Structure 1
């Protein structure tokens, strides 16, 4: 069972995911708490970077963490064992669109940075909805690369960002999905859907965000598609080097960077 994860299954990507989760922990998870004893499904847990946040912020939950990548799941197990050894987690290797659980098995669903990689997100959401008990909640978090605003502006920098957007589309995903999560959830049958934009703004006055988000999350994410972008003729080695150098300039004194993720909650 495989998936074309646009960023690749590399040690560099694992570090990027961990850095992203840690840097954005309060922003993304600060208002998410599940009651002890509730059964929660994390659909697409990846390497467990968000899993740790779930189990430490909602102690006592019964978490089922599922992912299509066996390698990522193994890393997630190791991460949770090291950082949250008392957590109760059931691990499942499989496609979130075909999970072996009965209807209404879960009190809550959590889906973070996953729909952007799926070719048919509404179909996936409808399948997940069937696993949720009536009155249960779904929380979806997705980014939107179109929200990347930065200074100094640069056509070369914008070109490498567009390479990421095109590469994700070529692999069946949507790098601009954040702006349409609300209508996706509504189309899948969820009700009381509420959207809560979560914006990161980084400049030299907040060096932890410059390093943790601008450099280690966003620029690293763009960098992950270098080889496929050049192979596909979307860029050249020289153009890519210039674009990344210009993006790095936004993380230097005098530079600024802005990005918005969308946290959306709905009810079955």
Structure 2
């Protein structure tokens, strides 16, 4: 699920609009417990957030781990400026070092960090295994890496809709054409093992929204997932993947899943791993 705005080969399929920035913030807030529960770093720890984007996750990192020495990296200078403003507004006392850099060529010394946090970034990269392997260089032996990714194949909903499923498939295809993988969650564990990490553990973090969870229906089903699919309408139509009316029908049916009698399910995968000593 796209929560960062990291540039690079293939780019970011959802664009860099103000609307997308707001969507990322809404998504991070709606999923804060799901993404960050169980992740807290001791004060004084040297933590790298790899691919911070507009700071949507950064605000939650500093709130849950006060006193850490956080370095937030992204390739987009514009996103970094938004991230800085977002964090300063929410946590003025937070100690964050902002760096504009490519995750494939990080300007840090060996073993410079105790922990690495990477959330919704790997799915946008053409070679996530190589980036994970490169992060090991800047992570001290025995240090931990935490990675969170979604998997659009885990989305199902009621009422079911062939048009909605097709719209999701078009987003997956566009992301693949851009060099990413919207189905990466299912292979997150194997990627970490292939990159040389030890003690790899992966847990599913499931979102289920129905009439008993009206806030989640709004925040996730409508304002996060459906908004993300809707954001690629122009690209899907231009690429000949969908007729405008068919894509619009799919989006409308996803909105239907956010109604009082609708349901929506999605699974994220959260992995932890250790850099071998």
CA distance in 1, matches of 2:222, 2:178: 24
- Aligned residue pairs, count: 268
Question: Which position in structure 2 is the counterpart of 1:6?
Answer: 13
TM-score if structure 1 supplies the norm length?
0.99
Question: Which position in structure 2 is the counterpart of 1:223?
Answer: 230
Indicate which of 250, 253, 257 corresponds to 2:260.
253
Deviation (angstroms), 1:97: 1.2
CA distance in 2, matches of 1:232, 1:94: 31
Question: Which position in structure 2 is the counterpart of 1:173?
Answer: 180
Question: Which position in structure 2 is the counterpart of 1:36?
Answer: 43
Indicate which of 31, 34, 44 corresponds to 1:24.
31
Question: Which position in structure 2 is the counterpart of 1:52?
Answer: 59
1:157 matched to 2:157? The reply is no
CA distance in 2, matches of 1:247, 1:37: 44
CA distance in 2, matches of 1:140, 1:253: 33
Alignment of 1:175-194 (within 5 A): 175-194=182-201
Question: Which position in structure 1 is the counterpart of 2:213?
Answer: 206
Q: Structure 2: which 5+ residue stretches go unaligned?
A: 1-5
Deviation (angstroms), 1:16: 0.8
Q: Structure 1: which 5+ residue stretches go unaligned?
A: none
Question: Which position in structure 2 is the counterpart of 1:61?
Answer: 68
Deviation (angstroms), 1:102: 0.6
Question: Which position in structure 1 is the counterpart of 2:250?
Answer: 243
CA distance in 2, matches of 1:7, 1:73: 17
CA distance in 2, matches of 1:167, 1:11: 21
Aligned residue for 1:59, secondary structure, equals coil
CA distance in 2, matches of 1:186, 1:233: 38
Indicate which of 128, 135, 139 corresponds to 2:135.
128
Aligned residue for 1:49, secondary structure, equals coil
Deviation (angstroms), 1:2: 4.8
Deviation (angstroms), 1:41: 0.3
CA distance in 1, matches of 2:34, 2:250: 28
Question: Which position in structure 2 is the counterpart of 1:263?
Answer: 270
Deviation (angstroms), 1:21: 0.5
Q: RMSD value over aligned CA atoms?
A: 0.9
Aligned residue for 2:12, secondary structure, equals coil
CA distance in 2, matches of 1:22, 1:250: 21
TM-score if structure 2 supplies the norm length?
0.96
Question: Which position in structure 2 is the counterpart of 1:195?
Answer: 202
Deviation (angstroms), 1:27: 1.2
CA displacement 1:105-156 (0-9 Å, x = unmatched) = 0000000000000000110001011110010000000000000010111100
